[in-house]
Amino acid sequence: MNATGATRIPTVDRPILRQESTVPGTSLTSRPARPRSAMRANVFNVVRMHLVDRYGYTFLPWGILALVFGLTYAIFAVVHPPSYEDSATGGLSTMFIFLTVIGIQTATRTLPFAMSLGISRRSYFLGTWLLGVVLSAVFAVLVAVLAEIEMTTRGWGVNLRFFAIPWLLDGPWYQNLATSFILLMLFMAAGMWSGLIHQRWGVPGNVVFLAGWAVLAAAAILVITWRGWWGDIWRFLAEADMIGVIGVFALLALGALTGTYLTIRRIVV
Amino acid sequence: MTPMATPADPTRTAHLTDDRPVIEVEHLSRRYRDTTALDDVSLTVQPDTITGLLGRNGAGKSTLMKVLTGQELASAGSVRVFGQSPLEHDSVLRRVVFIKEGQVYPDISVRRALEAASWCCPGWDHDLARELVADFDLPLRRPIKKLSRGMHSAVGIIIGLAARAELTFFDEPYLGLDAVARHVFYDRLLADYAEHPRTVVLSTHLIDEVANLLEQVVVIDRGRIVLSGAADELREHAVSVAGSSRAVTEFTTGRTVWRTGSLAGQTVSTVAGPFTDLDEARAAAAGLRLAPVSLQELVVAATGRRRDAAAELSA
Amino acid sequence: MFDEGTPLFVQIAERLAGDVVDGTLPEGARVPSSNEFAAFYRINPATAAKGINLLVDQGVLEKRRGVGMFVVPGAREQLLAARRDRFADQFVVPMLAEARRLGLDLAAVLASVEQTDRALPDHDPDRSGPDSGSVLTQTPAVVPRTPKEAS
């Protein structure tokens, strides 16, 4: 009540809308549920939600890459190495690191936001990977095109080997396209998986997760050494046609995606 | 507001009719390795009500809300929201919005966050969102991570209200908000709820501030529901009795005493109801002063050490 | 704003009834809606509606479908009658209880009542008992209690 203790009610002639809810069909609680369309809408919304930060997904990675390329180019222009073949740089790794960071962020920052707005884990996974696939494909096309130009010009006129990474991306264009596409996906999946582990079990969980992979790798190396398989493996990597290598990467990416999906299904934000 | 709206007919209480409860929880438990966050919780929430979920920190309020929104998994029991399990059901979840303390956002500006939220919430009201942004004086272009605590909370409140979801959860939504901003929230919540009735579940420890906003109250303590019912009726559950120690003891014999304190022959006790007119007359004759207990005191009493008393009350 | 004593909806009803009694809400007037009450007092609209409905049940207010809620003709008299009925319980009983605690006998209580009544600024000699009229030394202005001023 106000200070004078008067009990007058404001008689503002305000339209009253509470009443509206009693009219059939207008209440907020009368909307029918359509499972399929709700899920489709949410998958689409997840894509949009990621792209709300458009520059982060377009200009940022390519801007950074252009910067790194420009700097390397400048250095190469000055130094001018004698041969294109031996002048590999690690500049393209920024692109893969970028995909990993995107993967981590989708798990630790966007996922809790999306779930607070009523998006299921499954829809989030589908939406994120719809974007992930498209993103990896577009980026892979760009990488393959640039690698092709690089190989044609034999190092942009300064013997700079930037995109056509030896052994990995120096094959025919379609091979480079497939390899970079699969690898970009793999890096994003790895980032997202690790981010989900972080989301669920924190830093200790992630340490265990990464250490687990390290242990697994060490065990594999041990087994390979013990069985004396190194020769076979080098031969496979060196001689086997790239399709086999791509197959291995694809299996890894598929494994990471499966792991990501299984982790997100039980995730608690 | 529509120009054709007519004056009120306040007797219409659509939400008291035959609608199915929005939330139905039966024997829900959530156990972690060494703790039990929720222990055999059963409750229903009727459509178009504002329910207060009250209790101490760590009592299980957040866990309950997370299970209700499918963000947390149940160890046992059943949870139905709009008649279905909320877990991984987009058609259910789309009708729900859940704003929690320290809500995490992507690295985007306030404007972008509201934009993204508007896509996901079918009932989103852009005008309301704009008004709320003005109310809370929120800088739209600023990245969320650079906002102060209070402003960060305001983003959540704006999303929660403007979403106009059929079922809205607010879990301690106002960390860092000052009293003025909190009252903006209460006023806006009430006004918008009046115009667009919906089901709101609000957890808070500022019980005195929200007591009059609530239609239903659920008090949870150590994972168990110790008190639940209409806010109006709950207050009749207990009174504080003050007077000479002898008279108080006489009056409270056979009743559940929650708290009692004595000083110089005078005693004040909080006792569980119910109370008849006869009881009141008896108390008056004995020179006892009966005072009702505020919701806050009731919750304190119910979640204090006397678990048995509280359990008895809710039974 | 509200005391914790009575349920909120009862307090809303009491305030509305009070407004009808003192004329703030004249008979036939439209009563604010439950939403207006809710916004003004910062309470749940359902609580406000419950309070209003209490008065509908008592026949103080009536709803006219599609138009709103109005004060029933004769409501004021009805409320006054009800209050007169409750007067003894509400005011006399506690007064006498306190008087007993203080050791005041009935005569002393009555004397106190009369004395207080005379001291009131709007003392009305017509209402006073035949004996007390003569005791009146000052001539207080008889202030007619019009409904509006009373609020």
Q: Is the pLDDT of residue B308 over 80?
A: no
Average pLDDT over residues C27-38: 88
Confidence of residue A266 (pLDDT cuts 50, 70, 90): confident
* Amino acid at site B197: P
- State the smallest CA–CA distance between residue C88 and chain B in angstroms: 14
- State the smallest CA–CA distance between residue B50 and chain C in angstroms: 8
- The confidence score (pLDDT) of residue B311 equals 46
Only one residue has tokens 């009201």, namely B125
Confidence of residue A115 (pLDDT cuts 50, 70, 90): very high
Contact A19 B12 (CB under 8 A): yes
Same domain, yes or no: B102 and B249: no
pLDDT tens-digit readout, A63-106 = 999 999 999 999 888 888 878 877 778 888 999 999 999 999 89
Domain-by-domain residue ranges, chain C? 8-75, 104-150
Q: Is the pLDDT of residue B270 over 50?
A: yes
What letter does residue C23 receive in the DSSP assignment? T
d(CA B86, CA C122): 66
- The confidence score (pLDDT) of residue B172 equals 92
Of the ranges A135-144, B65-74, B233-242, which one carries the lowest mean pLDDT score?
B233-242
- State the smallest CA–CA distance between residue C98 and chain B in angstroms: 9
Average pLDDT over residues B256-278: 83
Paired tokens of C50? 């419950």
Chain C residues in contact with A8 by the CB 8 A cut-off are 19, 24, 151
Residue at a domain's end among B176, B195, B222: B222
- The confidence score (pLDDT) of residue A23 equals 38
Contact A35 B89 (CB under 8 A): yes
Contact (Cβ atoms closer than 8 angstroms) between residue A243 and residue A171: no
Would residue B1 count as lying in a domain? no
d(CA A218, CA C133): 111
Same domain, yes or no: B199 and B109: yes
Q: Is B36 left (phi over 0), alpha (psi -120 to 50) or beta?
A: beta
- The confidence score (pLDDT) of residue A89 equals 82
Same domain, yes or no: B36 and B149: yes
Contact C151 A6 (CB under 8 A): yes
- Dihedral sign, Cα of residue B210, residue B215, residue B219, residue B220: negative
ipTM metric = 0.83
- State the smallest CA–CA distance between residue C46 and chain A in angstroms: 10
Contact B10 C48 (CB under 8 A): yes
Alpha carbon C99 to its chain's center: 24
- The confidence score (pLDDT) of residue A245 equals 83
Chain B residues in contact with C68 by the CB 8 A cut-off are 6-9
Contact (Cβ atoms closer than 8 angstroms) between residue B243 and residue B228: no
- The confidence score (pLDDT) of residue B3 equals 39
How many domains, in total, are found in chain B? 2
Phi first, then psi, for residue C88 (nearest 5°) are -60, -50
- Nearest CA-CA partner of A30 in B118, B193, B1, B22: B22
Residue of C1, C2, C4, C91 to mutate for B, most B C-beta atoms under 10 A: C4
Whether chain C has a CB inside 8 Å of the CB on A227: the answer is: no
Question: In DSSP terms, which residues pair with B53 in a beta bridge?
Answer: B203, B218
Same domain, yes or no: B205 and B250: no
Whether chain B has a CB inside 8 Å of the CB on C69: the answer is: yes
- The confidence score (pLDDT) of residue B273 equals 75
Chain B residues in contact with C12 by the CB 8 A cut-off are none
Same domain, yes or no: B52 and B152: yes
Confidence of residue B52 (pLDDT cuts 50, 70, 90): very high
Would residue B5 count as lying in a domain? no
- State the smallest CA–CA distance between residue A99 and chain B in angstroms: 16
Phi first, then psi, for residue C110 (nearest 5°) are -60, -40
- The confidence score (pLDDT) of residue A48 equals 92
Same domain, yes or no: B158 and B303: no
Contact B235 C4 (CB under 8 A): yes
- The confidence score (pLDDT) of residue C120 equals 84
Would residue B229 count as lying in a domain? no
Q: Is the pLDDT of residue A134 over 70?
A: yes
3-class DSSP state of C53: helix
Burial B276-298 (b: 16+ CB within 10 A, else e): eeeeeeebeeeebebebbbbbbb
Confidence of residue C99 (pLDDT cuts 50, 70, 90): very high
Residue at a domain's end among B178, B202, B222: B222
Identify the residue with better confidence: C10 or B115: B115
Chain A residues in contact with B117 by the CB 8 A cut-off are 117
Chains sharing 3 or more CB pairs under 8 A with chain B? A, C
Chain C residues in contact with B231 by the CB 8 A cut-off are 8, 44, 47
Residue of B1, B9, B208 to mutate for C, most C C-beta atoms under 10 A: B9
Same domain, yes or no: B173 and B31: yes
Residue B83's domain comprises: 19-222
* Amino acid at site C26: P
Strand B23-31's sheet: what is its strand order?
Answer: B36-45, B23-31, B76-81
Q: Is the pLDDT of residue A116 over 80?
A: yes
pTM of the entire structure? 0.79
Q: Is the pLDDT of residue B115 over 90?
A: yes
Contact A10 C32 (CB under 8 A): yes
- What are the DSSP calls for chain A, one per residue? --TT---PPP-------GGGGGSTTTSGGGPPP-HHHHHHHHHHHHHHHHHTTHHHHTHHHHHHHHHHHHHHHHHHHHH--S-STT-B--TTHHHHHHHHHHHHHIIIIIHHHHHHTT--HHHHHHHHHHHHHHHHHHHHHHHHHHHHHHHHHTTTTTT-BSSS-TTTS-S-HHHHHHHHHHHHHHHHHHHHHHHHHHHHHHHHHHHHHHHHHHHHHHHHHHHHHHHT-HHHHHHHHHHS-HHHHHHHHHHHHHHHHHHHHHHHHT---
Contact B92 A33 (CB under 8 A): yes
Other CB atoms within 10 Å distance of the CB of residue C138: 8
- The confidence score (pLDDT) of residue B116 equals 94
pLDDT tens-digit readout, B167-224 = 999 999 988 899 999 999 999 999 999 999 999 999 998 898 898 899 999 999 999 9
Identify the residue with better confidence: B154 or A89: B154
d(CA B120, CA A49): 9
Q: Which of B19-28, B245-254, C31-40 has the highest mean pLDDT?
A: B19-28
- The confidence score (pLDDT) of residue B142 equals 95
Would residue B13 count as lying in a domain? no
Average pLDDT over residues A190-217: 91
Would residue B207 count as lying in a domain? yes
- Nearest CA-CA partner of C35 in A16, B210, B215: A16
- The confidence score (pLDDT) of residue C127 equals 57
Same domain, yes or no: B192 and B239: no
- Using CA coordinates, name the residue in chain C closest to A3: C1
Confidence of residue B157 (pLDDT cuts 50, 70, 90): very high
Q: Is the pLDDT of residue A254 over 90?
A: yes
Q: Is the pLDDT of residue B97 over 80?
A: yes
- State the smallest CA–CA distance between residue B120 and chain A in angstroms: 6
Confidence of residue A233 (pLDDT cuts 50, 70, 90): confident
Contact B89 A42 (CB under 8 A): no
Reported CATH class of domain C8-75:
mainly alpha
Would residue B9 count as lying in a domain? no
Average pLDDT over residues A24-53: 72
Same domain, yes or no: B78 and B45: yes
- State the smallest CA–CA distance between residue A113 and chain C in angstroms: 30
- The confidence score (pLDDT) of residue B9 equals 40
Average pLDDT over residues C52-56: 92
Contact (Cβ atoms closer than 8 angstroms) between residue B65 and residue B169: yes
CA distances C91 to A56, A252, B288, C85, Å, are 74, 86, 17, 11
Q: How long, in residues, is chain C?
A: 151
Would residue B10 count as lying in a domain? no
Residue at a domain's end among B222, B251, B277: B222
Contact C19 A7 (CB under 8 A): yes
Of the ranges A178-187, B259-268, B301-310, which one carries the lowest mean pLDDT score?
B301-310
pLDDT tens-digit readout, A151-184 = 999 888 888 889 988 888 888 899 999 999 999 9
Average pLDDT over residues B137-156: 94
Would residue B154 count as lying in a domain? yes
d(CA A203, CA A220): 25
Write the residue in C4, C42, C65 that is nearest to B294 by C-beta: C4
**Radius of gyration of chain B from its Cα atoms, rounded to whole angstroms:** 22
Chains sharing 3 or more CB pairs under 8 A with chain C? A, B
The CATH number of residue B270's host domain is 3.30.70
Q: Is the pLDDT of residue B1 over 50?
A: no
3-class DSSP state of C148: helix
Q: Is the pLDDT of residue B306 over 60?
A: no
